[in-house]
Amino acid sequence: MFFSTPVLWYNGKNAKKRGGPRPAVTEKLYENAPYLQTFTATVLACAPAPGGYAVVLNRTAFYPEGGGQPCDTGRLGGTAVLAVHTDGDTITHTTDAPLPAGAAVEGAIDWPARLDAMQQHTGEHILSGTLHRLYGAENVGFHIGSPWVRMDTSIPLTAEQLAAAEAEANAAVRADTPVRCWLPAPEELARTEYRSKKALEGPVRLVEAGGDRCACCGTHLARTGEVGLIKIVSFQHYKGGIRLAVACGQRAYEAVAAGWADAEAAGRRLSVPVGRLEEAAERARNAESQLKQRLAALQNALAEALTAAAVPGQPCITRIEGADGDGLRRMAAAIAAGTGAPCCLLAPGGQGLAYALAAAPGGDVRPACKALNEAFGGRGGGKPGFCQGSLTESDEGPVRDFLTRFLLA
């Protein structure tokens, strides 16, 4: 009793071939009333569909997925609207329960999600138009995702160019000028310049925002000031151009607030205000470089002392505290060269011990490395002259005894 014939969903070509009725044309309330949150409509058709039920109304405020903008969700009466799609004329709502054909229903869109989409989409127009006006960059890809809006440009751009475009786009936001959406007559369209990703035929809906004019079917804000803020969060080279991660409106505020909180936390650790983080970071890098140089000098001195204490021609196996992998490697190689015998240095690392195994000049420690890994649950390897890895064993005594026997065998 709930279902009507699905003939209403045939596209125009199929309808003509079959000689049947023309497809249902849904009145698109969102085109002229993007702030409309609730509406009444009549159910024209309902049929089972993948993921629920396909419902067609005579009119709808639900925006269908398209043009880089996600579809609206919400409710039709007590039924949840899970997805919305269109073939151009008919708009189909996927619901979680059937609705009787001919029934009057009240629809309610998820307004916070719609407002977010309008902020992102309007902000994208302003930023894309600015990039095109300043540098001739075409917008070749756009998608309102989560957490950021993705924008792809046709040409590479520098960080300085993006910063300048972001500043100019936000000036357009602060100017708080009207956003105009309209369907020009063919004569007006023919003499109007506008951006478009592809050649279009038939009626073309234009959107004018912040000095930009382009073809678009999405929902937009009434004034540029409602965008609030446009922020380029990150960018990377992509297919000969740039892929931007962009946030507008509330998303931009949250991104800036989170970044500021991180900057303040870093400033507290470095004992400087937010505006001097780079200066403090440079000092920290210089201090780290000096510490690394001092550490290398101490490790070299330790390697010389261990070489002097070792028995020439006999394997040197010992534990070193506080050395990293690179330090172990350099010291083991120096001791092996000085004693003319293999050297294995052990240090706490991972779940047990880290090791650096250096061969005597012309030697090969790979067999010893393999045996060590098998005996103590280790992982690692290397070249004939040097191997490095880690063991699950944390007591160096058994490791020292095993290696001594193996290397002297």
Residue 13 pLDDT > 70, yes or no? no
At residue 208, φ and ψ (nearest 5 deg) are -115, 120
When mean pLDDT is compared across 120-134, 237-251, 322-336, the lowest value belongs to 322-336
Check residue 23 and give its pLDDT: 57
- Identify which of 232, 234, 271, 235 has the alpha carbon closest to the alpha carbon of residue 252: 232
Paired with 104 in beta bridges are 42
| CATH architecture observed for domain 115-268 | 2-Layer Sandwich (3.30)
210 sits in the region (left: phi over 0; alpha: psi -120 to 50; else beta) called left
Cross-strand bridge partners of residue 53: 48, 95
The answer, yes or no, to whether residue 354 has pLDDT greater than 70, is yes
Please give the Cα distance from 212 to 135 (Å, whole number). 14
**Average pLDDT score over residue span 287-300:** 88
Structure tokens at 324: 């990293």
CATH placement of domain 289-408: 3.10.310.40
State the Cα–Cα distance between residues 361 and 373, nearest whole angstrom: 23
Within 10 A of 167 (CB to CB), how many other CB atoms are there? Answer: 11
Mean pLDDT of 121-138: 97
The reply to whether CATH 2.40.30.130 applies to domain 6-109 is: yes
Q: What percent of the chain has pLDDT over 90?
A: 76
Give the amino acid at 294. R
Separation between Cα atoms, residue 402 and residue 23, nearest integer Å: 83
- Segment 94-102 shows an average pLDDT of 97
- Sketch the domain layout of the chain as residue ranges: 6-109, 115-268, 289-408
Q: Span 214-237, mean pLDDT?
A: 97
Q: What is the pLDDT of residue 19?
A: 38
Average pLDDT over every residue of 308-324: 89
Q: Can you name the residues that pair with 243 across neighbouring β-strands? A: 152, 236
Residues 6+ apart with CB under 8 A from 383: 366
How much is the mean pLDDT over the chain? 91
Specify the pLDDT at position 89.
86
